[in-house]
Chain A
Amino acid sequence: MSFESPLFWPAYFKDNALFVLDETLLPERMHYVKVRNVAQAVDVIRTMKTRAFGQFLVVLSTFLLVLKASAKKTQPQIFADLAKAAEAINKSRPTFPFAEVTGMIVGWAKKDLENNVPLQAVLPKKIEGFLLGIRGRRLERVQKLADALMRHNNVLTHCNVSGELAMASAICKAKGKEVNFFATETRPYFQGAKLTCWELGRAKAHTTLVADNAVATLMRDRMVDAVVLGSDRSCANGDVANKIGSYQIAVTAKEFGVPVYVLTQPSNKIPSGADIPIEVRHEDELLKFKGKRIAPKGAKGFYPGFDVIPRDLITQPIEINVS
């Protein structure tokens, strides 16, 4: 793939430490936060320095950190450390399916422990192999997204889909297809204005920023002919959870006949969107900007972090292959 966005794989290992791209500092500067232990990993997730796919990457890498720090420990002690790490990660944020990911790793560790397989020797290889597989499957999904984009000229996106849209755009460009993008600013963290505009700019895509309240005008006036969204969690019935704002975009798109593509990772662990716990973040994250209030004293705030997009509002899920 000729272009890879830093947001596609926003963490790496160096000298026994994990370095995580601090997305809250983009686009001003590209800085990787050094993470040495479970507490620091939970902190980068909770403070939204990383999000979406970055969370998944940090979770798996945190188990690698635990294993690297366990040279002098017994096998049961290592297993206990892994289970403790899983518990801390599961409590970090409610909507992303952390327990599904940590449960898988702890399950592997348990099996190894029962079969007297040394955890430090085998588990890192399993995790690294799994990550490599995920990387390959995400690259396949980028190609699928590019195939979908080839049919459209003006695409609206919301929040940020962790590098995949920018990379798909670059594939289209290499084939001579220019896609114009509209990005919502995505209040209150501005992931659209900051991350999506930044990475689409790096991919040399024509990108126009709009307020979150402008999407109906774009759709009704036929200024966009497709919507691309990501997803943080999938359900057995095809519903997904994604960044707050996704539901009203999907409803409006349906009203005006605009197709909605959603990047998903199928899972049957949870029956439907109604069962997804939605994170409600502190009102100050909405009421204040850089420490200053934006609303008069006395005004309260309400900040749900995610929406559910019901399956019937999704024209085509673009799924990651699960084998």
Chain B
Amino acid sequence: MLAKNKKSIILLHGVFQDAFFNLLKEQKSKKVYVLEGRPYLDGAKALCAALIKNKIQPVLIADNMAGFLFYKELVKEVWISYQETGEQNILAKAGGLILSVLAKKHQVEVKAFPSAKRKKYIGNPKDIFSFEGKRVAAKGVYGFVPLLEDVPKTYLSEIYL
């Protein structure tokens, strides 16, 4: 399933407004890689469903697998969804900052597009203890669930409004 050509993968993180899929179609993207988006799996569920509806093949990876694709120099561009934009930062889905740092190191463009959903800053700690309704975490542990994070505009090549 892994693309073999250098700088060939488009990486998506978040959930995007409908117009985004037209952009993908315009650039003739047939296949994209999608981060699953813990804790609510909105990448695995909502984004994959929207891509399939738009006849674009999603390839799901876990949130910790993007670095591997960068290390192999396979990533061509990154798209992250954002909720708000300020003077110096955008408020993006958590995970957007890791992707932006990786992209900076590997000289890959990061583009931001408005999110289809609004989220609060912090989720309930319990949200990280379970996966698909089943407890996975050991008992007695605490949880910290940032859902949004600031990504400095200096990391971004383009912000769609």
Residues of A within 8 A of B (CB): 26-27, 158, 182-188, 190, 193-194, 197-198, 201, 206-218, 220, 244-249, 251-252, 255, 278, 280, 283, 286-287, 289-290, 292, 294-296, 298-304, 307-308
Contact = CB atoms under 8 A, between A and B. Distances in A.
Interface in B97-138: 97-98, 101-102, 104-105, 128-129, 131-132, 134, 136-138
Contacts of B44: 294-295, 299
B39 to A, nearest CB: 6
B86 to A, nearest CB: 16
Contacts, number: 197
Contacts of A289: 131-132, 134
A190 B39 CA distance: 13
Given A286-B60, A286-B62, A296-B49, A248 B98 contact: yes
Given A210-B128, A294-B45, A304 B136 contact: no
B65 A213 contact: no
B45 A27 contact: no
B64 A184 contact: yes
Contacts of A244: 62, 64-65, 68
Between A186, A244, A248, the greatest number of chain B beta carbons within 10 A of the residue's beta carbon is seen for: A248
A250 to B, nearest CB: 8
A211 B39 contact: yes
Main secondary structure of the interface of B (DSSP, over half): mixed
B138 A211 contact: no
A45 B38 CA distance: 28
B139 interface: yes
Nearest to A186: B64
Contact of A197 (B49, B104, B141, B145): B141
Contact of B71 (A280, A287, A308): A308
Contacts of A294: 36, 41, 44-45, 132
Contacts of B131: 190, 289
Given A213-B35, A217-B94, A286-B61, 15 more contacts: A27-B138, A187-B36, A187-B38, A193-B128, A193-B137, A193-B138, A194-B136, A209-B142, A210-B143, A212-B62, A217-B97, A244-B64, A247-B68, A298-B52, A302-B1
A215 B145 CA distance: 11
B52 A214 contact: no
Nearest to B155: A255
B97 A211 contact: no
- Nearest 5 pairs between A and B by C-beta? A245-B64, A248-B67, A213-B95, A216-B97, A198-B138
Nearest to B134: A290
Contacts of A295: 36, 44-45, 48, 58, 60
Interface in B14-55: 33-39, 41, 44-45, 48-49, 51-52
Nearest to A223: B144
Given A245-B67, A286-B60, A216 B98 contact: yes
